[in-house]
Chains A and B, each alone.
Chain A
Amino acid sequence: MNPCDDPLELYRRMLLIRLFEERALESFSRGLVYGTTHTAIGQEADAVGVLSCTRPGDVIVSNHRGHGHFLAYGGPAEALAAEMMGRATGVCGGRGGSQHLHWKDFYASGILGGTIPLAAGMALAERERGAGGVVVAFLGDGTLGEGVVYESLNLASLWELPLVLVVENNRYAQTTPIARHLAGSLTGRFAAFGIPVEEAETTDVLEVRRLTQPRLDAARVGEGPQALVLHTYRFSAHSKGDDTRDPAEIERYRKADPLPLHAARLTAAEVERLQREVKQDLERAFAAALAAAPASPSSLTPALGSPR
């Protein structure tokens, strides 16, 4: 996706994520989608703010909660819906599902932390390619419990790799609050490896952009890895029906909903038009995904071709 600072377009992208996720959850409850999903309702400003600062050719590494990243990157909603519905037209032909997406320079995996050394390796490859590409990797607060993250921070800093790590601290590792899973300082983890880090308590897409741009620029001109910690919140459950949080807490954070926050900068007519357009786009996308042929067992080619 091309860099973007148009407030209307930023709103459109956040709305696309919000309405996609709501529709995805609704499709689950209607039995149209098989498996699991992790939605990013409430975290839209992270995905859109960060990825609206990237350039074509930058590489995005996402995680289990990746639909928002995928859509903010410009990934097609229809192919994402089709992937979740097990359709042949899915972005990975139904093999990957909700957590394992690949499209252009976007990669997502359901293994927490294991993607971070990959992102570092990609950053090394991008540097050697010499075209100025940067790798942006998203991780959550829960992933900071994985040891391989710290091996990767060490390697990335040691070798000054063009990597931007974005921590979306939604304050929960599945159902476990951060106070019960994280010791010490969150930003101190990056500082210990000599990685410049900035943090913000924000759900404002413009503020996220303001914080992201210098990190990306620094990584791009060879200043090594950079980190951004965004303290955010998800309004939806970890996956589908597994929310153990206090509803009063969720309501409190809903006051900082990134969509109305940014919509206040637009006219009512603009907001109404975008809502109508995005809703129509998604209706078309989900209908087309639903109508597409299911992935066929005949598409199960060998993992490595035939032996020998």
Chain B
Amino acid sequence: MTTVLESLNRALHACLAESPQVRLLGEDVLDPYGGAFKVTRGLSTAFPDRVLTTPVSEAGIVGLGVGMALRGLRPVVEIMFGDFVLLAADQLVNHAAKLRWMTGDQARVPLVVRTPMGGGRGYGPTHSQSLEKHLLGTPGLRTLAASAVGDPGALLKTAVLSDDDPVLFIEHKLLYGKDLMAGGDEVEKLTVGDRYPAYRLRVTGAPAPSLTLVSYGYPAEQALQALRALAFEHEVFAELFVYTQLAPFDLGPLMESVALTHRLLTIEEGTRSLGWGAEVVAGALEAHGAGLRAGRVAAQDLPIPAAQALEAAVLPGPASITAAALALAR
């Protein structure tokens, strides 16, 4: 079995081994510590000159990455907690995302900024958020989300080695210890698209779905649990789309399913208002027209509290997903 953490770590090893242009920068990334979440473990030992530990300067190191990328390197910058990515928002929005386009496609910025998002570990209001919604919808910035359903290492490797545009790469903290989804007979998986694929999941042998679920990252794991519970406990059959590319967002694969089910439930861990789910539902409604029923499962519009019971009440989980799905299916 391979965990998400192992998959990402091996991918970074492979990137450094395969391309002399790759550099890795971040806070506390050197061995023996190997990064706050250990994604960079072993890299500084294997590539001592190309793995740079940095001061606590998120804006500085993302900007440094933009400059390196402009001049022929392929930097990977780690932001220790996703909550800190807003310190580098100017670098991502006004520099990385703009430079190619505003120079008439003359400059290119092959930069990957990796960062762990998400709660469920009791880290409280400033170390638990899923802030990607604030950066989605930035023209020129691609946002990818690792998932245990697919191959997160392959996703990262594609972004680092073959994408010439800036990528924000989201890793949910609770995914790191998860095993990659193995082929099993309970759930069947179709892969849609190749570069940054989406995955279409159904309970094996289930009748035609009456409901479409869509998610990414760790909430997709919870949605997968809900998919099984819906089928085995409630005889409600859904299909689940797990996206790896959040922005730019391609509704195409999803709409095939929505055309059959006329019911769509979005599942995310970011706050509910004005978020990713709202955009997906709005896009689906425009494409589908009247007759679409839709719902959103997301975090409450609150900071994420530290106490375990409070945190659980604010964040979505399999039970709230199942309940929302049942309400929509009826």
CB within 8 Å of A: which B65-99 residues: 65-73, 75, 90-91, 94-95, 97-99
The verdict on A117 contacting B70 (CB below 8 Å), with A304-B142, A308-B195 known, is: no
Apart from A96-B102, A114-B59, A114-B91, 13 more pairs, CB < 8 Å = A102-B103, A111-B90, A117-B61, A117-B66, A124-B73, A125-B67, A125-B70, A152-B64, A155-B60, A159-B52, A303-B101, A304-B165, A308-B195
User: For the complex, is B275 an interface residue (Cβ under 8 Å from A)?
Assistant: no
What band does the interface of chain A fall in when counting residues whose beta carbon is under 8 Å from B?
Answer: 35 or more
Q: Cβ of A280: which chain B residues have Cβ within 8 Å of it?
A: none
Contact A301 B105 (CB under 8 A): yes
In angstroms, how far is the closest chain B Cβ from the Cβ of A44?
25
- In chain B, positions 33-77 with a C-beta closer than 8 Å to chain A are 52, 54-55, 57, 59-73, 75
CB distance from A9 to the nearest CB of B (A): 28
Q: Who on chain A is nearest to B107 by CB?
A: A102
Verify if A132 is at the interface (C-beta below 8 Å from B). Answer: no
Q: How far is the CB of B194 from chain A (nearest CB, A)?
A: 8
Q: How far is the CB of A307 from chain B (nearest CB, A)?
A: 4
**A116 CB-CB contact with B under 8 Å:** yes
Residues of B within 8 A of A (CB): 52, 54-55, 57, 59-73, 75, 90-91, 94-95, 97-107, 139-142, 165, 193, 195-196, 245, 248-250, 252
Min CB gap A282→B, angstroms: 23
Interchain nearest-CB distance for A25 vs B (Å) = 24
Asked if B142 contacts A121 (CB within 8 A), the reply is no
Q: Are B66 and A308 in contact (CB under 8 A)?
A: no
Q: Do A95 and B67 form a contact, CB below 8 Å, given A114-B90, A128-B73, A154-B60?
A: no
Q: For residues 154 through 168 of chain A, which have their beta carbon under 8 Å from a beta carbon of chain B?
A: 154-155, 158-159
Chain A, Cβ-Cβ closest to B105: A301
Can you name 19 A-B pairs with beta carbons within 8 Å?
A59-B71, A92-B104, A96-B102, A109-B95, A117-B60, A117-B67, A118-B95, A121-B68, A121-B69, A122-B67, A125-B67, A148-B91, A151-B55, A155-B57, A301-B105, A303-B97, A303-B101, A307-B248, A308-B250
CB <8 Å contact, B95 and A125 = no
A126 interface contact, C-beta 8 A:
yes
Which of chain B's residues has its CB closest to A105's CB? B71
Contact present for A121 and B70 (CB under 8 Å)? yes
Are B71 and A125 in contact, CB atoms less than 8 angstroms apart? yes
List B contacts of A121 (CB < 8 A). Answer: 63-71, 75
Min CB gap A86→B, angstroms: 13
User: Which 7 A-B pairs have CB atoms at the shortest separation, nearest pair first?
Assistant: A121-B67, A117-B63, A151-B60, A125-B71, A121-B64, A118-B67, A93-B104
Is there contact, CB below 8 Å, between B250 and A307? yes
A129 and B248 alpha carbons, distance in the complex (Å): 33
Report B29 CB to chain A, min CB distance, Å. Answer: 15
A residues at B contact (CB < 8 Å):
59, 92-93, 95-96, 100, 102, 107, 109, 111, 114-126, 128-129, 147-148, 151-152, 154-155, 158-159, 301-304, 306-308
Across the interface, do B70 and A303 meet the contact criterion of CB distance under 8 Å? no
Known contacts A111-B94, A304-B248, A307-B248: A152-B60 contact under CB 8 Å:
yes
B65: chain A residues within 8 A (beta carbon): 121
- Decide: A308 near B193, CB < 8 A? Known: A95-B102, A114-B94, A154-B60: yes
CB distance from A261 to the nearest CB of B (A): 35
**Whole-angstrom distance between the alpha carbons of A265 and B250 in the complex?**
65
A124 CB contact (under 8 Å) in B64, B99, B103: B64
Distance in Å from the Cβ of B19 to the closest Cβ of chain A? 13
Residues of B within 8 A of A128 (CB): 73
A120 and B66 alpha carbons, distance in the complex (Å): 10
Name the one of A95, A154, A304 contacting B104, with C-beta atoms under 8 angstroms: A95
- Cα A92 to Cα B142 with chains together (Å): 22
User: How many whole Å from A175's CB to the nearest CB in chain B?
Assistant: 23
B60 & A125 in contact (Cβ 8 Å cutoff): no
Query: Are A303 and B140 interface neighbours, CB within 8 A?
Result: yes
Contact B71–A126 (Cβ < 8 Å):
yes
Q: Closest A residue to B192 by CB, please name it.
A: A308
A303 and B139 in contact (CB under 8 A), knowing A117-B63, A129-B71, A155-B64? yes
List, in ascending order, chain A residues with CB within 8 A of B64's CB: 117-118, 120-121, 124, 152, 155
